[in-house]
Amino acid sequence: MCMAHKSCVSEADSAAAAAALFAWGANSYGQLGLGHKEDVLLPQRLSNFCEPGCIKSVTGGGGHSAAVTDGGSLFVCGLNKDGQLGLGHTEDVLCFTICKPLLGCPIRQVACGWDFTIMLTEIGQVLSCGSNAFGQLGVPHGPRRCVVPQAVELLREKVVCVAAGLRHALATTVSGSVFQWGTGLASSGRRLCAGQTLPLFLTAKEPSRVMGLEDSTAVCVVAGSDHSASLTDTGELYVWGRNKHGQLASLAAFLLLPQRIDARCFQDEKVTAVWSGWTHLVAQTETGKVFTWGRADYGQLGRRLESPEGQKPHKQDSQLTFWRPQSSVSLPLCCLTGAAKISCGSEHNLAVISDKCFSWGWNEHGMCGDGTESNVWTPSPVQALQSPSRILLVGCGAGHSLALCQLPALSEPCQDVKVIYTLQAATGNPESQNGMNKERNRKERQSVTSTQSNSDRTRNEGP
């Protein structure tokens, strides 16, 4: 998420309550950190993920997950066939494990792409590991994969924000410039803009300055599967890349250069934060309104379109009438107004409102956490994470979800965790509530009896 504010659980809160990480959704590679490879339809607690530092961010990629502590330690798990976990090998890891090659190198932010990882250090240096098949590591003459984090040396200016898409990556520097690398957008750009010369930043395998943003100061960047976006210090949102699903709020099939989204799309309010899925975007404005646009067929916009085709007529002039995807129109979701935190997976989303977790979108692997595999069309509370738990953090991978919760003091034996988190409407299903409660209570009883004896042994081990 962009333009984040940091808040801290008070000492009194820390003494009165403990924190626990929950995970659910796709788990084919162990990306949930639960020690197995079975999908999980309800949030399940990671009883052995209780190191004494502070967790400040959680996120995921195509099949891997990452968590950063307040001290800058990076914990990773999941798919590792290209070395995207940065552990020095290519074996999958089923439990969150500290990235030892980064010990002594505090991490500020991590961004997970499909099969690679981008890290931003506290001193503003960018590191990368994983697949480099499309130049997404920013090391033009490097190998096709890297199993330990390496410096992106051609980024010489201090970086303040990084983003990872399907096969490309971005960085925002302290001066407000934006750099992009990786050829993930190039093939669709050549096909959809035949006869036009692609700018270097769409084809480069090393950091290349994004043209067209010279008159603005970027504060953060986000990436989708085939598009990029940048938010400026004046609350303007620029987008470029492929527009197949209307995610660029434009009529163009592909934008070679950044184009500013008209402020009227956000009711003339400044944008203060932006998030991106593979083919949809979510933005929050200065008054807390949350807008969504882009692909909508899995419910990822949190609203149903007016027609089955998802289109409505739009006149460009008196001579020409054509069809404009309704999904390209950004509309506010009233139930998300004032959301403290939001995260986008590939086609699903999580949000925190009043300390409660809401989910919507693609749910084939149970990533919405409602105990089913049916898509969720409107933001709905994740019942298994309801009160008295307080949601501190949320994060999404392509098809999985993570949430850090503050629990009542007596429900968690590890009470030395002080959590620092980064700030980034609906009804439940009463028929499934009893089942979820039973499942949650069973796991709670198991966790209380086993965590105390196992925590010291498993704290820093792999699977």
> How many domains in the chain?
1
pTM above 0.85, yes or no: no
Q: Which of 455, 423, 447, 421 is nearest to 14 (CA)?
A: 421
Do 330 and 283 contact (CB within 8 A), yes or no? Answer: yes
- Residue 271 confidence (pLDDT) above 60: yes
Which pLDDT value is given to residue 324?
47
- Residue 316 confidence (pLDDT) above 60: no
CATH number, domain of 340, equals 2.130.10.30
How far, rounded to the nearest angstrom, does the alpha carbon of residue 195 sit from its chain's CA centroid?
Answer: 35
Q: What is the average per-residue pLDDT within 307-311?
A: 46
Q: Is residue 208 part of a domain?
A: yes
Q: Is residue 23 part of a domain?
A: yes
Q: What is the average per-residue pLDDT within 305-315?
A: 49
How far, rounded to the nearest angstrom, does the alpha carbon of residue 432 sit from its chain's CA centroid?
Answer: 28
- Residue 312 confidence (pLDDT) above 50: no
Which pLDDT value is given to residue 51?
57
Q: What is the pLDDT of residues 350-402, one digit of tens each?
A: 999 999 999 999 999 999 999 999 999 999 999 999 777 899 999 999 999 99
Do 267 and 283 contact (CB within 8 A), yes or no? Answer: no
Q: What is the average per-residue pLDDT within 130-139?
A: 97
What does the mean pLDDT of the chain come to? 84
Residue with tokens 């504060």: 219
| Banded pLDDT at 45 (limits 50, 70, 90) | very high
Q: Is residue 414 part of a domain?
A: yes
Which pLDDT value is given to residue 345?
98
- Residue 448 confidence (pLDDT) above 70: no
Which pLDDT value is given to residue 311?
44
Q: What is the pLDDT of residues 237-260, one digit of tens each?
A: 999 999 999 999 999 999 999 999
Q: Is residue 123 part of a domain?
A: yes
Contacts of 271 (CB under 8 A, 6+ apart): 231, 235, 236, 237, 283, 284, 285, 286
Q: Is residue 13 part of a domain?
A: yes
Q: What is the average per-residue pLDDT within 284-302?
A: 97
List the structure tokens of 164. Answer: 């990872």
CA 423/CA 73 separation, integer angstroms:
19
Burial category of 331 from C-beta neighbours within 10 Å (exposed 0-12, middle 13-18, buried 19 and up): middle
Q: Is residue 463 part of a domain?
A: no
Q: What is the pLDDT of residues 59-76, one digit of tens each?
A: 999 999 999 999 999 999
Q: Which domain holds residue 81?
A: 5-458
Which pLDDT value is given to residue 350?
98
State the CB neighbour count (10 A cutoff) for residue 214: 9
- Residue 1 confidence (pLDDT) above 60: no
Which pLDDT value is given to residue 387?
75
Which pLDDT value is given to residue 19?
84
Q: What is the pLDDT of residues 120-133, one digit of tens each?
A: 999 999 999 999 99
| Banded pLDDT at 407 (limits 50, 70, 90) | confident
| Banded pLDDT at 110 (limits 50, 70, 90) | very high
Burial category of 366 from C-beta neighbours within 10 Å (exposed 0-12, middle 13-18, buried 19 and up): buried
| Banded pLDDT at 229 (limits 50, 70, 90) | very high
Q: Is residue 101 part of a domain?
A: yes
Q: Is residue 236 part of a domain?
A: yes
Which pLDDT value is given to residue 406?
87
